[in-house]
Amino acid sequence: MSVDMSQFYQTFFDESFEGLDIMESGLLGLDIGAADAETINTVFRAAHSIKGGSATFGFTVVAEFTHLMETLLDEMRDGTRMVTEDSVDYLLKSVDCLKELLTAVQNESEYNEAFVEEVKAGLERLLHGDDVPVKVDGEVSDSSTSKPEIKGWNIEFKPAEYLLKTGNDPVRLINELSLLGKIETVCCIDNIPLFSEFNPELIYLSWSIVLHGNVQKEKISEVFEWVDDDADIVLTCIGGEQEQNNEEVSGVEVAAPVAPTEKIEVQAPVEKIEASLKSEIHDTDKKSSLKKTPKDQSSIRVSIDKVDDLINMVGELVITQSMLGQLGENVTPDSIEKLQDGLAQLERNTRELQESVMRIRMLPISFAFQRFPRMVRDLSNQLGKEIELRLLGEQTELDKTVMEKIGDPLVHLVRNSVDHGIETPDEREAAGKPRMGTVELNAFHQGGSIVIEINDDGKGIDKDVIFAKAVEKGVVNANDSLTDEQIFDLIFAPGFSTAAVVSDVSGRGVGMDVVKRNIRELGGTIEVKSEKGKGSTIIIRLPLTLAILDGQLIRVGADTYIIPLISIIESLQVKKEQISSIGGQAELYKLRDEYIPVVRLYETFGLKPDSEELVDGLIVIVEGDGSTAGLFVDDLLGQQQVVIKSLETNFRPVEGVSGATILGDGTVALILDVSGLINLSRQSSERAA
C-alpha cells in the first residue's frame, strides 16, 4: 500500500522554515576565525535536516543546494576551514536562497534561477578556490571577462489599481527614473473605464518607458523598491550584458540580456505567484525537481502545557454542563440557588476557556524580532556604520495575527533608525559618542496592551528642520504654534521626508504614513519622542489580540454602542459652566486646564437622544491618534469583553465604526472607532466654518 507523502508536507515546511531561522541566528553569532563548535553544529544540524527532508519528499533542487552548503559547514565543523567574512556572507545568502526555494516548492511557483546560480557559484568558489568559472546563461565564462556596456532598458510599469492608497505616486517614480538618463514614455489608457464606473482613487494607467544609457539594474531597482509588491514590472536590457549575474534586488527580478524586441515578464509582487501557475509555462527540469504540493496553510506551534490547560478547562466545562443538565430536569424553588451557582460556575468556566484558547494564539514576539539581527547587520555594512542591535522582552507574547501585521511597520521603523538615526562612526566620534551606535527593540505588557519601543542613540530629530519642511510642503502654516509631540507627528504626513539624499534604504518620503495607518488599523497608536543629539524613541501600543476587546457599553437614544476601554480616559457628569463654543458651532468642554471638543454621537449617527442638553447626559473623554475628544452619550451601561466581527468583511467599511459584536440578548452593537469619530467631527467643524 502506497503512502500519501503530501500529508507530511506542511510539517516539513514548518520545520524547515524554523530551521532557516536557527541557521541565520547562528551564522550571525559566528566570530571571524576558528568556528565555535556548538554554534556551527547547530547550523549544520539544521541544514542537514532540511537536506534529508527535501530528499525524502523528492524536492531535488532543495536537496542539491543544501548539500553544497552542508559541505562548507562540515569543513568549518571539522576545523579544516576558518570562518571568514566572505564565507559568512555567502552562507547567509544561502539561507535566503533556501528560503526562496522552499517557498517556491510550497507554493508551486517559479524561483529566481539567476540568484540561485549566483549563490551556488559563490559556494563553489569558496570550496574549490577563486579560479572556479561562473555560469552565465548556461555557458561557462571567466569572471574576469569584460562586459559590453548596456545601451538602455525597456521598462513596462503597470501599477496596481490601489497604489495611490499606499502613499506612492507613479509620477514621482517616473521622475526619479529621468534622473538616471534620458527617458521616452508612452502611457497606456486602454483600461480606463466608463465615466460612470470611474473611481478617482484608483489607477487605470500603465507606462512603457525606454531609459537610454549605461544604467545598472541596481539603480532601477532602487526606484521601484517601494512598489515591488504593488506593481507588475518588466525590465528588458537593450544591448550589452548586465554587470552581475541575474539577481533579485529589492524584489524586482531582472531578465537576462535579450534583443530589444524580446520581453521577459518580471513577477515582483507575491500576488503574481498564482498567475505564474495558471500560465503553466514551466521548465522541464523544474517539473521534475519542484513537485506539486498543497497550498500554504497558516499554522501555529503550541506548547503541550497550553494544550493540557485547554483540555482541563473543557473537562471542567463538561462537568458544569452535566450538573446544570441534572438541575434542569427537575427545577424546584429549592434548586434555584444551586442553579444560580451552576450558571456562575459556567460563566467562570467559559471565561477561562476563552482565555485558554486565546493563549494558544499567543506567540513570543521573538518571532517578529528574529528578522532584525540580519537586517541591521546588512544595512550597517551597506551604510558603513557600526551598529549594535539589542533585543529586550523577546518572550513577551502577542496574538499571532497582530504579530504578522506589525512585522512590516517594524521593519520600516528599524530601517529609518539605522539610516536616519545612527550617525557614521566618524560623526559619532566627533560628537563625543562611542563609534558604535545602538538600536534597541523592547516589548512589554502594559495594562491590556503590548508596548513596542524602538530606541536609538543617534542624532535625534531636529524639530526646526521638521517644522521648516512641513511649512515648505504646505502641511502647516509658518505661524502655527505646535507642541513637540505635534511636530514629531508631522513625519507621518504622506510624502514627508527630510532626507537630503535619497538612498536605497529610505528617504523617498513614502512609508511612514502607511506605517501609521497600518498600526491604526490594528487598533494601536504610535508616538515619537526625540532629543537632538541624543537619540529617538518610537512607541507603539497595540491590543494583545484582534479577536476580543474589553469595551464600555454606552447608550445613545435606543441604541447601544461599544467604546474600547483602551481609548477611554475618564467619564464625567457635564457641568454647564464648563461648556463653551467657538463661533456658535464647535462645542468645547473645559476639563481642568484643557479645552476638549465635544462630539454629539446622536448627531453623528442620526439618532433621537433622551435629551439634546449636555447637562442631561454624560461625557466620555476618549483619545485616538494623539487627539482628545468628549463623546456625549445618554448613559453608561457597563463593561464587558466582546468578540469583534468585521464590518468590512460582512457589510462595508463605515467611518467611525471599527466593527460589530453580538450582545448577550442577541442584539448587534457597533464598536466605535475613536480616531475615525474624531476625524469625522473635525471635518464637520471645518465644513461648518
Enumerate the active-site residues.
48, 70, 416
The closest of 422, 391, 380, 381 to 536, measured between CA atoms, is 422
State the Cα–Cα distance between residues 163 and 514, nearest whole angstrom.
12
Give the sign of the dihedral formed by CA 485, CA 488, CA 492, CA 493: positive
C-alpha cell at 585: 458651532
User: CB of 412 within 8 A of CB of 511?
Assistant: yes
What whole-number distance in Å separates Cα of residue 371 and Cα of residue 385? 19
DSSP 532-560: TTTEEEEEEEEES-SSEEEEEEEEETTEE
- Smallest CA-to-CA distance from 282 within 110, 117, 28, 420 is with 110
**Looking up cell 499554522, which residue turns up?**
299
Judge whether 686 and 597 are in contact, CB under 8 Å: no
Helix, strand, coil tally for the chain in percent (to 5): 45, 25, 30
**Hey, which bits of 405-489 come out as E strands?**
437-446, 449-456
CA distances from 477 to 200, 412, 469 (A): 28, 28, 11
The string of DSSP codes covering 316-374 is HHHHHHHHHHHHHHS--GGGHHHHHHHHHHHHHHHHHHHHHHHHHHEEETHHHHTTHHH
- Distances, alpha carbon 196 to alpha carbons 145, 193, 318, 379, in Å: 59, 8, 58, 48
3-state SS, one letter per residue, for 278-308: HHCCCCHHHHHHCCCCCCCCCCCCCCHHHHH
Side chain identity at 609, as an amino acid letter?
P
Count of beta carbons in the 10 Å neighbourhood of residue 666: 6
Query: Are 370 and 414 a contacting pair, CB within 8 Å?
Result: no
Cell 442553579 found at? 339
Cα(376)–Cα(387) distance, integer angstroms? 7
